[in-house]
Amino acid sequence: MKRVHIGHISEIAVKRSRVVRIGDLEIAVFKLSDGVIKAIENRCPHKAGKLSEGIVCDHHVFCPLHDWKIDLHNGLVQAPDDGCVAKFEVEIEEASGEMYLHISEESILAS
């Protein structure tokens, strides 16, 4: 498992996102309304919409292309649609607010 520094928690506004690229892999990092940080693959399984450009509501993001609703906790597309995106663990150092993404070598190589 690789630990990658992705910035400071203050760099993401509430209900917004930022894009992190690791090799060819593109990851959307979101800050939820409760301050929790979530990270998922930045590609909707339907038509490859950029999820980082979607609207965040509660713990879901809506794909900007066709409004598919994706759970940021587990990456699952909500019914009636079907599918999932990869999710990634985010670590935040409490003392400094620095954010780190934990990503497997397989994820980087598969991108």
CATH number at residue 60: 2.102.10.10
pLDDT of res. 111: 56
Counting the structural domains of the chain, the total is: 1
pTM above 0.75, yes or no: yes
How do residues 36-65 score in pLDDT, each as one tens digit?
Answer: 999 999 999 999 999 999 999 999 999 999
- Structural domain boundaries enclosing 71: 2-110
> Rounded CA gap, 2 and 68, in Å?
30
> Rounded CA gap, 106 and 16, in Å?
28
- pLDDT band, residue 1 (cuts 50/70/90): confident
> Rounded CA gap, 99 and 86, in Å?
19
DSSP label of 74: T
